[in-house]
Each structure stands twice: as structure tokens, then as C-alpha cells.
Amino acid sequence: MLEVENLSKRFGGLAALSDVAFGVRKGEVVSLIGPNGAGKTTCLNLMTGFYKPTTGSVTFGGRDITGWAPYRIAQCGLIRTFQKTNVLKGLSVFGNVLTARHRHGDTSVLRAFFPGVAQGRRERELRDETAAIIEKVGLAARINTEADSLSCGELRLLEVAIALGAGPQVLMLDEPAAGLNTQEAHQLGAVLKTLIGTTVEALLLVEHNMALVMQVSDRIVVLNFGRKIAEGRPEEIRNNAEVIEAYLGKPAAEVAAI
């Protein structure tokens, strides 16, 4: 569904990403991991149009979307979240997710002033769809609560709900477990696993929480200093000597001896 080929990004003399290639298939949860500064968010920004690649290409659903504006990419069904929590804090949980459903509405200035039967029916459907999404992520009990009053864990779940409200085919999450405790991260993982095949067709996760990554991933891609150093199933990555060295700064043999 989603593929990057030889993706590179330079900022002046700094090579932030170099010849990275991987894909996301239908029905998969793929995690993109690596130490701080490895190029994970840069890769996500290139894939979603916030940066233009120096070289390489991004293909989504068989279409080359390299360099497209972020809104065009989102309209195609490739939706992302960001590291920093970004919700409408003056609105309720319901209001936030309903706002995200706007691109699935069918209205105009004329219909806004003279709504017909069809318009009223569609608005009710949008509200029902919004409530279903909120229940899906486990926030039904907080549906009328202002976002300002949510806990850190609830805000992260709300971000996922907002992204789902936009109707993604592929959902891309940038460090959704940041700031969460172990229980909250496990709850998030349980929610993410329910989305595949029911709400989204595939999921790409950028994450530092290795427990969450191992919990939900079908496949893991590892970056270090802007280059891909490994790709494989969770059990393969867990025992990969180059990955261990990238994270701990020591050869795997030394780590095993400690």
C-alpha cells in the first residue's frame, strides 16, 4: 500500500536520511524505530509532504505522491499524527473528532443556509460515526469532556481518534506513547491492534517504547544515522547485533557478557 524507494534528505551538508527503502502492506503494523536523531520523524515528514526529498520516491496505493502537499496526501487517505499533542482543547472529545470528520461531509454554503432532508440525514450519520470512533478507542465515558480536562493517556487516545475521524487507509503515528506509563501504553497497544482490518488497512508506527513496538508490530524497520540497518519480525530485531549496538553503543557480544 505504501512504499518508499531510496529516500534521502539533506539539510545543507547534513544527510538526515540516506537511501532508505521499505514498504507497508495491507493488514500490517510496521514500526519504524531507532535511537534519537536516527531520522524517523524526517522519514515520516518526507512521506507525508512536510519535507520534499532530495532524492527518492514515495508511492501510495500505486500512485507516486513524492513532493505532494500534505493536504493532498491526507485527502488520499494517508493520515498522520505528530509528536506534540495537538488537539482543540476548547472542544469536547466529541467536538474534536466530529471536526476531523468534515472531509466526509457533503455540504455547501447554500446547503448550510437551506439544509434539506438529505443534509440532515448526513449530519446525523457523521455524528453516529464520530461516536463509534470514540467508543473504538475507549473514550466513550469521556465523550462530552473538554479536551483540556483529559489525562496524558486520554489525550493520546483522542489524537488517534481524531486521525481516525479523517478516514485513513493507512494511519501513521509519531510516538503516540510519549509520556504514557506502562499501563497506558499497553492500553494504547490493545486499541491499535483492533484497528487493522476494521478501521484502517495498515498502520505505520514511529515509536521509542519498545514494549509497545513488540506488542503490536508485524514487522520492524530500524534506522541509525539516517540509514536503514535492519528490517524483520520483532523476534529477529530483538536479537539483531547491529540493532543492539545502535541502541546501547556496545557490540552485542559485550552486552551479552554484562
Question: Is pLDDT of 255 > 70?
Answer: no
Each residue's pLDDT tens digit, 208-228: 999 999 999 999 999 999 999
CATH number at 2-257? 3.40.50.300
Q: What does the block give as the cell for 235?
A: 523476534
Burial class (CB in 10 A: 0-12, 13-18, 19+), 98: buried
Question: Is pLDDT of 168 > 60?
Answer: yes
Q: What does the block give as the cell for 226?
A: 539516517
Lowest mean pLDDT among 12-16, 64-68, 229-233, 252-256: 252-256
The pLDDT, as a whole number, for residue 258 is 39
Q: What does the block give as the cell for 245?
A: 549496538
Cα–Cα dist 106/119, whole Å: 8
Confidence of residue 86 (pLDDT cuts 50, 70, 90): confident
Task: Please give the sequence-ordered ranges of beta strands (E in DSSP) within the chain, or none if there are none.
Answer: 2-11, 14-24, 29-33, 55-60, 63-64, 78-80, 170-174, 202-206, 219-224, 227-232
Alpha-carbon separation of residue 66 from 42, 56, 72, 81, 143 (angstroms): 14, 8, 11, 19, 37
Closest residue by Cα to residue 244 from 226, 232, 256, 233: 256
Each residue's pLDDT tens digit, 128-142: 999 999 999 999 999
The pLDDT, as a whole number, for residue 257 is 44
Alpha-carbon separation of residue 103 from 71, 77, 107, 124, 148 (angstroms): 11, 11, 10, 15, 25
Average pLDDT value for residue range 190-218: 94
Q: What does the block give as the cell for 153?
A: 493517556
Question: Is pLDDT of 251 > 80?
Answer: no
Confidence of residue 250 (pLDDT cuts 50, 70, 90): low
The pLDDT, as a whole number, for residue 44 is 96
The partner residues of 14 in beta bridges, in order of sequence, read: 11
Average pLDDT value for residue range 13-33: 96
The pLDDT, as a whole number, for residue 31 is 97
The pLDDT, as a whole number, for residue 85 is 79
Average pLDDT value for residue range 170-196: 93
Higher-confidence position of 118 and 258: 118
Each residue's pLDDT tens digit, 31-62: 999 998 899 999 999 999 999 999 999 999 99
The pLDDT, as a whole number, for residue 26 is 96
Average pLDDT value for residue range 114-121: 65
Residues near 87 by beta carbon (within 8 Å), at least 6 away in sequence: 96, 147, 155, 158, 159, 162
Cβ neighbour number for residue 210 with a 10 Å cutoff: 15
Q: What is the DSSP letter of 128?
A: H
The pLDDT, as a whole number, for residue 110 is 55
Q: What is the dihedral of CA 175, 177, 179, 184, to 10 degrees?
A: 170
Higher-confidence position of 96 and 246: 96
Average pLDDT value for residue range 227-233: 96
pTM, rounded to two decimals: 0.86
